[in-house]
A and B are shown apart, each in its own frame.
Chain A
Amino acid sequence: MKKKLINFIVTLIIAIILSQFLPWWHVMVAGFVSALFFSLDRAAVFFIPFLAVFLFWMTYALWLSNANDFILAEKIAVLLPLGGSWIVLLLVTGFIGGIAAGVSAILGKQCSMLVKR
């Protein structure tokens, strides 16, 4: 459990820091690096970084959008199309970021195993 918490926190911190410098794929770097050093087992390899980034992107997006009454989020939710619901758009945003982080974490895990052997 502790390992999961560490991985979660490390992923989150790396993602937040890198988001200031790197494009969208900062979450892939975060997932990869945290898995490299704090690797988990089985499904947790994917789901812990997924969860960390899911929450990070959702919160970040919510913070930006809330300050502007969701004007643009509602329009983008029409465009994509998600029925005009900014809540669904937030979930999709978190989901996309999460997938990217989770998949790169699996790669990180594989690389860490290579190093250990």
Chain B
Amino acid sequence: MKYFKLPLTLVLTLVVFTGLNSKFGSIPPMGKFLSPNEGFWQNEQDENLNSTMQIIGLEHEVTVHYDEHLIPHVFAQNNNDLYRAQGYLTAKHRLWQLEFQTFAAGGRLAEILGEQALDYDRQERRRGMDFGAENALQKMQEDPETLSYIEAYRDGVNSYINQLEPKDYPVEYKLLDYAPEPWTIKKTALLLMYMTKMLAGRESDLEHTNALAKFGKERYDLLFPDFYDVNDPVISKETDWRFIDVKMPETPEDDTSLDSISITETIDKPHAQNGSNNWAVSGKKSYSGHPILANDPHLSLNLPAIWYVMQLATPEHNSYGATLPGALGIISGYNNYISWGETNATRDVIDWYKIEFKDESRKEYKHDGQWKKTTQRIEEIKIRNRETLYDTIIYTHHGPVTYDHNFKGDNAKSGYAMQWVGHIGGNNQRTFLKLNEGKNYDDYLDALKSYTAPAQNFVFASTEGDIALWIQGKFPNKWKGQGKFLLDGSNPKHDWQSFIPQEFNAHSKNPERGFVSSANQHPVDPSYPFYVYNDGYETYRNRVINDFFRAKDKFDIQDFKNLQNNNYNLKASELLPNIFTTMDTSSLTEEEQGILNTIKKWDFYSEIDQLAPSIWKSWWTKLYKIVWDEFDADSLSLLTPYTYQTIYMLKNHPQDELMDILSTPEKETAKDLFLITFKETAKELAQWKAKHGDYNWGAYKATYVGHLLQALPAFSRFDLNIGGDYNTVNAASKNHGPSWRMIVEMTSPPTGYGIYPGGQSGNPGSKYYDNFIDRWAAGEYMDLLFMQDQQDTKDIIASQTLTPQE
């Protein structure tokens, strides 16, 4: 027996070692993770701020002052040092997020998360994310200045990573049991590509094609009009477009490809609610005579927050605002002379082409009556604990053949190729570097000129008194109808012929009305000569904003704060009165009547303490679904009509055949749908009440800010008391909303106010991880400390010096 004891205990020891050193499913390696000397306990601390750090490659010392919000105010002697310090500090406070986002961008999540992320990774590769990032990187490398700064940023990030020991890794690395890799300049390109996908990656061409085939042109145009009957566009209707003198491409006669699509599932689309507000008033409309500008980008509410706020100063320029971890400079902010902010332009910059291959080898495809050569790109997808997968993606001159028989398709001799402005590449980093240095309108315009994607509405205000808004991006100049539906990849007339010359992009400078604004609505009215159609434009926030600015003569900071936090539900106000007059209420129970009375009394403000917004939300969700039940019942990929047109149909075509519910023998009309869904709403709310108590809007909506790892409850914040909904100016829905609220008055130097739903630290163990969230929900702002002199350390809690390494 005793001869067995030794080998037995040896095996036992090895089992215990392996068991505590390895990750099982989502359970972290317990020995490693819990050990106080290298596990998560080491992350149980605030940031170490008072230290001198040596950084390779710095030319001069860089001073970093932290204010009480942990916002770093960085003072460098030149741009190279500045962006090196930005890289270093971003890594210091947001390393895990910084790296994880670029893994997500490039379709590399399976390396970290294993097989469960494989489908996502393949989809991102087939979307051409890596391909586009490589093209963008090439463009950035052509500009020596941009190149030297993105390299400096890279070196800054790596200086931080290199001095880390495993015990210092952010807690997410420990949880998932992996280590950070060196930062590369390509990762900056990937991050920008990630933003391009998020903001200019949404389209529904294939769904539209199916809908056209299903309903026919007349019905289709009723459901998906190019312009709605109301339109308060970004660039005002009064604009005179006669200066545009280019020849418009002609619509080919044989353009109709009434195919329906043979794939049943399309790739994931970015969040439909990604959008933003921005506006600026001229000095004439400002209480102080100085222009005032505001911006609030609406994105998924995540922790660590998508934005990281910094002040970046050299003797030549001094800017303040929100940065994106991975990109250089301030993205939405201001300097001593100008301020800028973005909303999404939401234009259609993705088109799909049906590709016919010569044979199953797919080495040639048909175009212009000839067989042309395809190229292949082999995507190497590494998978944790599994063999690497190689996915061969065929490329045509249009772009990657995303869908083929290897991916969501079934035909070995055909496929669907994607053409996307995002693939073209562009030095979009330069735009932000130049805005940071800009001094006036001309500098702003120069910064914007080379910007390609994601197309944005860039709002601008200067201390000189100018306000402006340019809708900037690279836009294909399409013939009428081009790219709304699937295009014929073999027909050269279906190719993108040219791009809209930059100077003809829609814009507005110092308009008569004294303000500019955008909220993802239609960019223009039909008089704009280039082809623009409704590709999912927002139709409510813009009207509330513009009406607000038309309503009086002077605006102050409090007006701006009130508007950013305005919860007026224009959408509800446009349908409910119609419902109240048409719905037959004779069959309502007493309880139902009570609920109806509550919503009848509603003033249409979606405030947290009101019951009516919850009734509306529940009711509208059901109503929208049941109106378009014909779409759900179809096995083809389809897109249901947009909200505005849905309400239009309910009000103007109440007897339309689509109002019928397929699953019932009766023929329903709009007013029947109102009643049916109202009764369901009453039932649902009663159940909700029994379970959770009063369904006031704050509790019912239950907004949350979720950790980037599938909203890990431990690292997320739930049940935030914030009003509004997607279509209100304060666009706070359940897990989506104003991700950075900023207001800047163009005094000299400018006075800024801002807040975002998160905190400066990426460490869930820091009190700075989520410390802005409650103030953000309450609609409060921080008075931003825009330091003019690095010696003036009045409101500074800690200072750090970055010194050149000997």
How does the 8 Å CB contact mask read for B171-189 relative to A, with 1 for contact and 0 for none? 1000100000000000000
In the complex, which residues 47-91 of chain A have their Cβ closer than 8 Å to any Cβ of chain B?
A: 57, 60-61, 64-65, 67-73, 75-76, 78-79
Is the pair A93, B41 in contact by a Cβ cutoff of 8 Å? yes
Least distance between A80 CB and chain B CB atoms (Å): 8
B residues in contact with A93, CB < 8 Å: 34-36, 41
Bound complex: CA A79 to CA B709 (Å):
12
Q: Does A24 lie within 8 Å of B20, measured CB to CB?
A: yes
Residue pair B41, A100 in contact (C-beta under 8 Å): no
Q: Judge if B61 is at the interface, Cβ distance under 8 Å.
A: no
A89 to chain B, nearest CB (A): 8
Decide if A33 is an interface residue (CB 8 Å cutoff).
no
- Check A96–B766 contact: CB distance below 8 A: no
Indicate whether B588 reaches chain A with its CB closer than 8 angstroms. no
Which has the most chain A C-beta neighbours within 10 Å: B17, B20, B34, B767? Answer: B34
Q: Which of A24, A67, A106, A114 contacts B45 (CB 8 A)?
A: A67
Q: Tell me whether A6 is interfacial, beta carbon within 8 Å.
A: no
Question: Contacts A68-B46, A106-B12, A107-B13: A75 and B31 contacting too (C-beta < 8 A)?
Answer: no
Chain A residues positioned under 8 Å from B767 (CB to CB):
69, 71
- Whether A23 touches B764, Cβ cut-off 8 Å, given contacts A79-B714, A110-B9, is no
Contact with A along B705-719 (1 / 0, CB 8 A): 000000011110000
Say which residue of A19, A69, A107 sits within 8 Å of B9 (CB atoms): A107
| Interface status of B690 (Cβ within 8 A of chain A) | no
Question: A23: which of B13, B32, B46, B715 is its contact (CB, 8 Å)?
Answer: B32
Contact check, A57 vs B35: say whether CB atoms are below 8 A apart.
yes
Residue of B30, B166, B175 with highest tally of chain A CB at under 10 A: B30
The answer to whether A103 touches B6 (Cβ under 8 A) is no
A71:B35 contact, CB within 8 angstroms: no
A92 CB–B CB distance under 8 Å: yes
Please tell me which one of the listed residues A28, A72, A96 contacts residue B764 in the complex, with CB atoms under 8 A apart.
Answer: A72
Most buried by B among A57, A61, A99: A61
Given A75-B714, A76-B714, A100-B20; A61-B41 close (CB under 8 Å): yes
Q: Of B21, B30, B35, B767, which is in contact with the most chain A CB atoms at under 10 Å from its CB?
A: B35
Smallest distance from the beta carbon of A97 to chain B beta carbons, Å?
A: 7
**B46-97 interface with A by 8 A CB criterion:** 46
Q: Which of B682-717 contact A (CB under 8 A)?
A: 712-715
Neighbour of B44 across the interface among A73, A78, A109, CB < 8 A: A73
Q: How far is the CA of A25 from the CA of B39 in the complex (A)?
A: 12
Within 8 Å by CB of B36, from A60, A68, A71, A78, lies: A60
Across the interface, do A25 and B44 meet the contact criterion of CB distance under 8 Å?
A: no
Residues of A within 8 A of B712 (CB): 79
Is B539's CB within 8 Å of the partner chain A? no
What A residues does B40 contact at CB under 8 A? 72, 76
Is B332's beta carbon under 8 Å from chain A?
A: no
Give the residues in chain A near B763, CB-CB below 8 Å.
72
Does the CB pair B35–A24 fall under 8 Å?
A: yes
B765 touches A75 (CB 8 A): yes
Question: How far does the Cβ of A20 sit from chain B's closest Cβ, in whole Å?
Answer: 8
A96 with B36: CB separation less than 8 A = no
**8 Å CB interface, B739-768 against A:** 763-767
- Which of chain A's residues have a CB closer than 8 A to the CB of B713? 78-79
Quick check: A68 and B45 within 8 Å, CB to CB? yes
Is B222 on the interface with A (CB-CB < 8 A)? no
Q: In the assembly, what is the distance between CA of A110 and CA of B9, in Å? A: 8
| Alpha-carbon separation in the docked complex, A71 to B763 (Å) | 10
Given A79-B714, A100-B17 in contact, is the A72-B171 Cβ separation under 8 Å? yes
Tell me, in angstroms, the Cα distance from A78 to B20 when the chains sit together.
Answer: 20
Bound state CA distance, A97 and B714, in angstroms? Answer: 24
Contact at B765–A103, with CB atoms within 8 Å?
A: no
Q: Tell me if B376 is interfacial: C-beta within 8 Å of chain A.
A: no
Measured CB to CB, the closest approach of chain A to B799, in angstroms, equals 22
Known: A19-B37, A60-B37, A78-B713. Contact between A25 and B21, CB under 8 A?
yes
B168 within 8 A of A: no
Inside 8 A of A73's CB, which chain B residues have their CB? 41, 44
A57 partner residues in chain B, CB cutoff 8 A = 34-36
A103 to B15 alpha-carbon distance, docked (Å): 10
- The answer to whether A24 touches B44, judged by C-beta atoms less than 8 angstroms apart, is no
Closest A residue to B15 using CB positions? A103
Is A92's CB under 8 angstroms from B34's CB? yes
Residues of chain B within 8 A (CB-CB) of A97 are 31, 34-35
The answer to whether B16 touches A99, judged by C-beta atoms less than 8 angstroms apart, is yes
The answer to whether A104 has its CB under 8 Å from any CB of chain B is yes
Would B38 and A23 count as touching, CB distance under 8 A? yes
CB distance B45 to A64 under 8 Å? yes
- A25, B17: Cβ atoms closer than 8 Å: yes
With a cutoff of 8 Å between Cβ atoms, the chain B residues found around residue A70 in the complex are 44
Cα(A71)–Cα(B768), bound, Å: 11
A sample of 8 cross-chain residue pairs with beta-carbon separation below 8 angstroms, ordered by A number, consists of A24-B37, A60-B37, A72-B171, A96-B30, A100-B17, A103-B9, A106-B9, A106-B12
**Which 4 pairs, one residue from A and one from B, show the smallest C-beta to C-beta distance?**
A72-B765, A24-B35, A79-B714, A60-B36
Chain A residues in the interface with B (C-beta under 8 A): 19-20, 23-28, 57, 60-61, 64-65, 67-73, 75-76, 78-79, 92-93, 96-97, 99-100, 103-104, 106-107, 109-111, 114
